Amino acid sequence: MKKNRQVYTAWVLLIVAAILIPGCGPSDPDCAKPENFCVGLVTDLGKVNDEAFNQLAWEGLKQAEHDLGAYVQYIESVDVKEYDKNIATFANAGYDVIVTIGYGQKKITTEAASKYPQIKFIGVDQPQDPDKSLPRNLTGLTFPEDQAGFLAGALAAQMTKSNKIGVVCGPDWFPPASRYSTGFKAGATYIDPVVEVTVVCHNDIGFNKSIYDPEWDAATANTMIDNGVDIVFGADGYDENGAVTAAAQRDIYAIGVNTDQYLTLREERKVLLSSAIKLITQGVFDLIKAAQDGNFPGGEFPGQVGYAPFHDLDDQVPPRVRAKMNEIQQGLADGSVGPDISSAVPTAVPTEIPSDIPPTLTPTATATEGP
């Protein structure tokens, strides 16, 4: 009797586990059948509900589920070595579209697109090399960081009291970092040609470290603040943002980057004026729809950018600033506002710092670019 009860309990647990494990339920469609449109998401490191790139992309898949009747699923990556295996899991199951997140998956996504030519691949925030022949079933969803930076600079120039603002950015030979910083200065001087804009980019160490170095970001921001900067744009922060954290500790305004960092930097909310954001959800959905409609573009697909709500600081932003920000965003969209700064942005991304790049200033000094 006891043995029978144990067998029954084990059987019940197996059934429950099958229901709870994604992709194992009896209602899952056969994605190899042409009538079933299946889309899979391979996350960057971390959870799908990270309130950042992973979650925003997943919301694009969920919109495709609702609007297009797609079957959607995700696999969370906990180690970079899993990217290839996770992509293959969807590919071998016959998925129609596979979405991967972040620059770290660019190489493996390109290789997978060549290996599985019948599947459409969407690489979120993965700029493609124009000098290389790319699989036609691969599209890199990219964003005009110069426009996002322009919005951040315009906001900072209108809210500063010291007339000194600054941007902490990644290596300036990395296109997104260059676009953010150049756009920030352009937006600031569009508002006030004599505003003092301090730009410091992290050029002194290897690429992998330079794009995730919150200690350096914080030290650099603190030096800016010591020199009178009263608004810092932390353009080198992802899961953490050392520049925004430093601003919070010094009680000055800060602007986040890439996603609405009010959602992830909870201790810094009191100073987060806004964030320069990439509209990932809409971009992912648009490309999934294009794949379903047979209009998948290949190459690069330009997503849209914007700025996050003012949240806790909403009552500190005057109506004239709100009106001007709305005007600028519309102008960027229709091309009537914003200089063409593409010529100032490198097109290739080195894996390490080239030998001819001059060393950046240490965090105990700032490089100030005049207007």
Predicted local confidence at residue 9, as pLDDT: 47
Contact between 181 and 167 under an 8 Å Cβ cutoff? The reply is yes
Mean pLDDT for the chain overall: 85
What confidence tens digit (pLDDT) does each residue in 34-88 have? 999 999 999 999 899 998 999 999 999 999 999 999 999 999 999 999 999 999 9
**Identical topology for domains 29-142+278-305 and 145-258+309-369:** yes
Predicted local confidence at residue 212, as pLDDT: 67
Name residue, tokens 């990395």.
174
Contact between 367 and 196 under an 8 Å Cβ cutoff? The reply is no
pLDDT-derived band of residue 205, with 50, 70 and 90 as boundaries? low
**If you average pLDDT over each of 125-134, 174-183, 223-232, which comes out highest?**
223-232
pTM score of the predicted model: 0.81
Nearest to 283 by CA among 299, 259, 304: 304
Predicted local confidence at residue 210, as pLDDT: 52
Q: What mean pLDDT comes out for the span 21-45?
A: 81
What confidence tens digit (pLDDT) does each residue in 158-168 have? 999 999 999 99
Predicted local confidence at residue 121, as pLDDT: 98
Q: Cα–Cα distance between 134 and 257 in angstroms, integer? A: 29
What confidence tens digit (pLDDT) does each residue in 313-361 have? 999 999 999 999 999 999 999 999 875 554 444 433 433 333 332 222 2
Superfamily holding 145-258+309-369: Response regulator (3.40.50.2300)
Write down the domain spans for the chain.
Answer: 29-142+278-305, 145-258+309-369
State yes or no: pLDDT of 4 exceeds 60.
no
Q: What mean pLDDT comes out for the span 163-179?
A: 91
State yes or no: pLDDT of 282 exceeds 70.
yes
Q: How far is CA 84 from the centre of its chain?
A: 21
Q: Which two tokens stand for residue 326?
A: 């709305």
Q: What mean pLDDT comes out for the span 245-265?
A: 96
Q: What does CATH list as the number for 29-142+278-305?
A: 3.40.50.2300
For residue 97, what are the β-bridge partners? 39, 120
Name residue, tokens 């979405």.
99
Q: Which residue has the higher pLDDT, 171 or 9?
A: 171
Question: What's the full length of the chain, in residues?
Answer: 371
Predicted local confidence at residue 173, as pLDDT: 82
**If you average pLDDT over each of 10-19, 124-133, 286-295, which comes out highest?**
286-295
Amino acid identity of residue 150, one-letter, is F
State yes or no: pLDDT of 7 exceeds 90.
no
Question: CB-based contacts of 216: which residues, under 8 Å, 6+ apart?
Answer: 202, 242, 363
In angstroms, the Cα distances linking 184 to 24, 169, 203, 333 are: 47, 11, 18, 17
pLDDT-derived band of residue 128, with 50, 70 and 90 as boundaries? confident
